[in-house]
Structure 1
Amino acid sequence: MREAGFTAIAGDGTGRFGFITVRGWMDCRTIERGDRTVVEFSWDGDDDQVSGHGWAALVDTAISRRRPTFRGSAYLRTVADLDCSYRRRMTNTENRPAALHSYFAYRDAPAALRWLERAFGFETTLEFPGDDGGIMHSELRRGDAAIMVFSDDGDYDRPALRGETVGHGTYLSVGTDGEVDEVYATALEAGATSVWAPANTEWGNYRCRVLDLEGFEWTFGTLRPGESRSDWSDGE
């Protein structure tokens, strides 16, 4: 018996789909491409043997049509195709503690992935290329820290450095002073701009700060936020 295909996207960006023999879950985000609103998505099959990514845009909203017309692409990978052990089950969220992650829109996202690996020691665990040669969605990890990177399709502003900061940035805590020294050295070698050379603070944080090749601010330190000492003599 033939079953009709379907796609359903909820307000929180999660979705469910079915097409021929494949059923699964989607993780969606909305972006603007020119005068069109585009939904980009990654997906996992119910049997955990297939996954993929894609995009879709509404191209015809004529009232005379009974159904809207969409244009897009979808890509499929099987377990044998994957070069990483990435698996995601969107329904398994019960009892999971809250986690904070940063996401970055780079003008040259493919080059940024390789730079982040080389300069900061990140490992790319997931990489979905776009049709235009950019990156639709990617995920990188260093230890327990994970970030997301995608292509800048909106020509977003980059705040200028004023004194010692651009006003906001990403802080990554590491285990030892030596790791701070190492990441500072590899970042500068890769072309990062130094803001703070590695040094101790009066509240016991050994840290450094750099700007990456597109101006994003990164601070690496031994202090772990949320687990700070309560015996500071003079405060921060």
Structure 2
Amino acid sequence: MNESTVRVTPYLCAKGAAEAIEFYKRAFGAEELSRVTNEDGTIGHAAIRIGDAALMLADEWPEMKVLSPATLGGNSVSFVLATDDVDAAFDRAVRAGGRVERAVKDEPYGRAGWVIDPFGHRWCIM
């Protein structure tokens, strides 16, 4: 494997992926890159970009045991959104519908705050 071609892309599961895409646009300035809609109207696959990071997402697939944090009641992954203006980015995410988990404050590692998005994903804005 050539190191220059290695890339890890998070693949989120959301209960309401179409609504999640709209939230990420409002909260983080995401750009939608692609979307595949299933016959039942759910999203089978979508790609978005936030800054220089790509993320993929889809609706839940219970038959494959692909479930959202909202369904599972928690998550094991957090996302870090690094920005030059933590306070403005945090406020934007909250105004878009994010729930404050930890308000912005100066931490030993820098200024940061934590938001849970409406779909159960945890975001550290720093």
> Does TM, scored on the shorter chain, surpass 0.5?
yes
Q: Taking CA–CA contacts closer than 8 Å with sequence separation of 6 or more, which of the two structures ends up with the larger relative contact order?
A: 2
The C-alpha deviation readout for 1:73-114, integer Å capped at 9, x for no partner, is xxxxxxxxxxxxxxxxxxxx9663422221111111111111
Tell me the number of residue pairs that the alignment of Structure 1 and Structure 2 aligns: 120
Asked if 1:128 corresponds to 2:36, the answer is yes
Q: Is the 8 A contact 2:23 2:97 kept in 1?
A: no
Identity of aligned residues (%): 24
What code does the residue aligned with 2:72 have?
Answer: R
Measure the CA separation in 1 of the matches of 2:72 and 2:78: 11
For the pair shown, the structure with the greater C-alpha radius of gyration is 1
What code does the residue aligned with 2:79 have?
Answer: T
1:184 corresponds to which residue? 90
By how many angstroms is 1:216 displaced?
Answer: 1.1
Alignment of 1:1-236 (within 5 A): 96-154=4-62, 156=67, 157-160=71-74, 167-174=76-83, 176=84, 178=85, 180-203=86-109, 205-221=110-126
Q: For structure 2, which runs of at least 5 residues remain unmatched after alignment?
A: none
Measure the CA separation in 1 of the matches of 2:80 and 2:17: 20
Q: For structure 1, which runs of at least 5 residues remain unmatched after alignment?
A: 1-92, 161-165, 222-236
Q: Is the 8 A contact 1:181 1:198 kept in 2?
A: yes
Measure the CA separation in 1 of the matches of 2:32 and 2:21: 7
Q: Is the 8 A contact 1:102 1:170 kept in 2?
A: no
By how many angstroms is 1:167 displaced?
Answer: 4.6
Q: Is the 8 A contact 1:126 1:138 kept in 2?
A: yes
Structure number having the greater helix percentage: 2
Change (3 A) 1:158 1:182: farther
